[in-house]
Chain A
Amino acid sequence: MKKRSSAVGYLLILLAFLFVAVFILLPVATVVKESLADGFGNYLSYLKAPGAKSALILTVITAVIAVPLNTIFGIMLAWAIAKYRFRGRRLLSMAIEIPYAVSPVVAGLMIVMVFGSTGLLRPLLDALGLKVLFAAPGIIFASAFVTFPYVAKELIPLMSEIGNSEEEAAVTLGAGFFRTFFSVTLPNIKWGLFYGIILTNARVIGEFGAVSIVSGKMLGKTATLPVYIELLYSNYEYVAAFTIASVLMLLALVTLVQKFYIELKERKHLKSRGAS
């Protein structure tokens, strides 16, 4: 049971609210206010600017490729780590966390080192006629790298808890791999998986550090939404920058609502499992 608050409790709660107000609500309100500083008509025109449009398209393309990629890899990794025992398993589960630990800027630099003019993979890329740096593939790669752990990290504890036995039951009944995955595994992990996908998506859309390094920040060409905001800002186009920022914030809000909904569902789901 929760304890009724004492004086210290009240003070802590008050501080928490104060902190949220000053460090979160105030900046959010400022963004909204600033984005509307030139009036609603101009708000719309900033959204319709060609640079904004191309940034949005690039961001959507990045998300459409990076998120499914990380979803598939995430499921595979989580499956391997949660359901099998093998040599190097610990190493693998540690390696997954590297993108968490490394600053996105460093991640961006690492990608430059690998794909850049003196990079290890340069001869291969040249032979294939592929352009990675300062182009969409580099941006997608950087985004995928940074958001690599989210799905796997969400699924590993869930899959470990559920265990293997339902899958084993399915194969003894004659089900093949795909049938087992889609009728047994997926329904059991769906809420955790959705949650991981939503987090991945939110981070892909908002990724700045790694992308700003590998993209070259070319307006209208390699600028994603966050990069575009920075370009506008450093060009003293504050209101336009805040306008695009408000769009990202709206996406964040949508993510939050989804997250709460899923957490609610997952709790119910786990509860019904737990009662069994």
Chain B
Amino acid sequence: MTIAVEDIRKSYGSTVVLGGINAEIEEGKITTLLGPSGSGKTTLLRVIAGLETADSGKILFDGNDMTKVPVQKRGIGFMFQNYALFQNMTVSENIAFGLTVKKGADRPSDEQISKKVKELLAMIKLESLGGRRVDQLSGGQKQRVALARALAVEPRILLLDEPFGALDAKVREELRTYLLHLQRKLGITTIMVTHDQEEALEISDRIIILNHGRIEQAGSPDEVYDTPENPFVFSFLGHVNIFRGRVDDGFAVLDEKSHDQIFIRPHEIRLSLRRHQGDVPALIRSSRNLGFHTVVSLELENQESSSYVTADLDRTVWLQLREGAVNGTVYLNFAHFKFYSEQTKKFSDYELKTKWSYSI
């Protein structure tokens, strides 16, 4: 099932929630709607589902206009942020609900329903919990029940609203992997809403980045990460150091009077104990150990006003640097950075020309 979103607009009073959205959702892929809160991503998902109506615009499923088709008849599976399990029903009853509400010839027999529920319980690995009340489940279990319930009706599209938002980190990781496997197995067209860029980069085939009710950029995770079209996308897809500056002979020169900007990700900063061409001296101010890597905060020297840089280093490199740094001074350069011209509103890429070694 392909989905086309054509010029969808929606406002609440004078607040524009969706300002003319156009998008194509590919068959059998995971497409992520990524954006900060208030970007309109959840509203767009709900408009696609039919839970909300747009002021204007069209939603097409496989080329058929679904804009006026009620949510019950769209053939979607929707997983809600807080799971929205039916509190007065058991796990099995929750999963069976979509089948039991079917009418006439569409309604499977009770045996068929209970067989299907068993299959789904096995799929989510909760075989023994069918008779449980849903308030006795853990967050991760609830989420899987919500997924099974949505899949029971064999929807043509799976819509997920912040599916991992309410889970702790370890369970989230597990379920992310699980969902990805399941989606690949079923090949169901999936749209997921998230504000978590790591999550989006990890499991999406395609990412649509929204901000203030507009699409900032759409593309594969690599495309949007490597070639962001604007500063918003660049900043939103991970940590970034932003300076005013210019480029001189391929080197970034920090210059507070410049209108242009230099964007550099923490892992693209190179630190050394010896000074190379174009290096900037910097003082180590603090560090955070994040397991296999370390985030270091550095203060640049020789700047008119103090400016801080965040660098993300391999732990072994960091330990060598800390050992060898005289008075906490290291030399910093940008291995790869982007220059954003205020005039052309475009990024250009720069790679450091000199060969690099860390400490020696």
Contact = CB atoms under 8 A, between A and B. Distances in A.
A165 B86 CA distance: 9
Given A169-B80, A174-B72, A276 B87 contact: yes
B98 interface: yes
Given A187-B88, A276-B134, A174 B98 contact: yes
Main secondary structure, interface of A, reads helix
A173 B98 contact: yes
A89 to B, nearest CB: 14
Nearest to B88: A187
A184 B86 contact: yes
B72 A272 contact: no
Contact of B71 (A171, A183, A184): A171
Contacts of B77: 172
Contacts of A176: 72, 101
A263 interface: no
A124 B77 CA distance: 52
B76 A172 contact: yes
Interface string B68-107: 0011110011101010111110000000011001100000
Given A174-B101, A175-B72, A272 B51 contact: no
A275 interface: yes
B153 interface: yes
B78 A272 contact: no
Given A184-B86, A275-B135, A276-B87, A171 B80 contact: no
Interface residues of B, number: 28
A168 B146 CA distance: 13
A38 interface: no
Q: Which of B73, B88, B142 has the most CB of A within 10 A?
A: B88
Contact of A175 (B49, B51, B101, B135): B101
A169 B77 CA distance: 9
A169 B78 contact: yes
Interface in A127-177: 165-166, 168-176
A273 interface: yes
Interface string B128-160: 000001110000001000000110110000000
Contacts of B85: 166, 169, 276
Given A168-B51, A173-B153, A272 B97 contact: no
B87 A188 contact: yes
A158 B86 CA distance: 16
B135 A273 contact: yes
Contacts of B97: 170, 173, 175, 183
A165 B80 contact: yes
A272 B133 contact: yes
Main secondary structure, interface of B, reads mixed
A188 B153 CA distance: 24
Contacts of A273: 87, 135
A171 B133 CA distance: 21
Interface string A194-208: 000000000000000
Contact of B88 (A165, A169, A175, A188): A188
A272 B86 CA distance: 12
Contacts of A172: 49, 51, 71-72, 76-78, 150
Nearest to B76: A172
A183 B100 CA distance: 11
Contacts of A166: 84-87
Interface string A220-235: 0000000000000000
Contacts of A267: none
Interface string A243-276: 0000000000000000000000000000011011
Contacts of B76: 172
Contact of A174 (B87, B102, B142): B102
A201 to B, nearest CB: 25
A183 B72 CA distance: 16
Given A168-B80, A276-B87, A173 B133 contact: no
A24 B102 CA distance: 56
A168 B102 contact: no
A179 B99 CA distance: 13
A275 B134 CA distance: 10
Nearest to B52: A168
A169 B84 contact: yes
Contacts of A187: 87-88
B87 A173 contact: no
Nearest to B75: A174
A232 B21 CA distance: 74
Contacts of A170: 86, 97, 101
A266 to B, nearest CB: 13
Interface of B: 49, 51, 70-73, 76-78, 80, 82, 84-88, 97-98, 101-102, 133-135, 142, 149-150, 152-153
6 contacts: A165-B80, A169-B149, A172-B78, A175-B98, A175-B101, A184-B88
Closest 10 CB pairs of A and B: A173-B98, A165-B84, A187-B88, A172-B78, A169-B84, A175-B101, A276-B135, A174-B72, A272-B135, A171-B71
Given A169-B80, A172-B76, 7 more contacts: A166-B86, A171-B51, A172-B51, A174-B73, A174-B101, A175-B98, A175-B101
